[in-house]
Amino acid sequence: MNPTADPATILLIEDDASLSTALQATLKAAGYRPIPAHSAAEGLRWFNHYAPDLVLLDLGLPDRDGLTLIADIREKGATPIIVLSAREAEAMKVQALDLGADDYVQKPFGVEELLARLRAGLRHGVQSRGSVPVVRAGALTIDLGSRLVTREGQAIKLSPKEYDLLAELALNLGRTLSHKQLLAAVWGSERADIQYLRVYIGQLRQKLGMEAILSDAGVGYALANGAP
């Protein structure tokens, strides 16, 4: 998320009151604006009213199966949907994705994992809407639409993984992302080998300049938000 932009609005359709309350606090702390809905009907109503940037959707809702809501939301556009579900069946996951959900997080989930999926979902949402941010960090320009990275106007060639890592840092310019957040966002699992991260950060620093990426020892990394 670009810190200068309005907070992204997250529609949270979850009937479990205590989980909803906890998730709202988590989302607020992470800089988002959560809109809680406790049933499918309320979810659709708030969806139409707020036009959220992303939907977190529980499948077990009191009035309707959450799966049926995916198709309703898809009819209205490409808003990213992340399904939250305790249902373990692989078939259910496939069905949710086939119906147009963007991602699926199985309960119980870790907060870091959920936030990483959320950032990825928002990134894809921004790209599919076409209003793509261009992030400027000192001499670096990262165009998240064209995936073009330049330093003082000179294009820099990055591998796809290097680019994914940089894009994640750019969307959170100046903010430290933990090792787990970065591993989850770029390698799809917060349990991925941290050594991958070190190697790719090293490669990015070689290409972008040592000063471009800040380390918070033992915590994570941030893209420097200043003139290098």
Residue numbers of the site for Ca ion (CB under 5 A)? Answer: 15, 58, 60
Q: Which two tokens stand for residue 31?
A: 């800089």
Closest to Ca ion by CB, 15 or 113 = 15
Nearest-approach distance from CB 57 to Ca ion, in angstroms: 10
Closest to Ca ion by CB, 58 or 113 = 58
Nearest-approach distance from CB 75 to Ca ion, in angstroms: 23
Nearest-approach distance from CB 99 to Ca ion, in angstroms: 18
What is the number of other CB atoms lying within 10 angstroms of the CB of residue 184? 25
DSSP code at position 212: G
Instruction: Answer whether 7's CB lies under 8 Å from 37's CB.
Output: no
The angle, 0 to 180 degrees and rounded to 10, between the axes of the packed helices 111-129 and 179-187 is 50
Nearest residue to Ca ion, scored by beta-carbon proximity = 60
DSSP code at position 219: T
Q: Which two tokens stand for residue 87?
A: 């249902």
Instruction: Answer whether 34's CB lies under 8 Å from 12's CB.
Output: yes
Closest to Ca ion by CB, 60 or 228 = 60
Closest to Ca ion by CB, 56 or 204 = 56
Nearest-approach distance from CB 16 to Ca ion, in angstroms: 5
Instruction: Answer whether 10's CB lies under 8 Å from 54's CB.
Output: yes
Rounded Cα distance, 58 and 159, in Å: 36
Nearest-approach distance from CB 84 to Ca ion, in angstroms: 9
Instruction: Answer whether 222's CB lies under 8 Å from 172's CB.
Output: yes
Closest to Ca ion by CB, 82 or 126 = 82
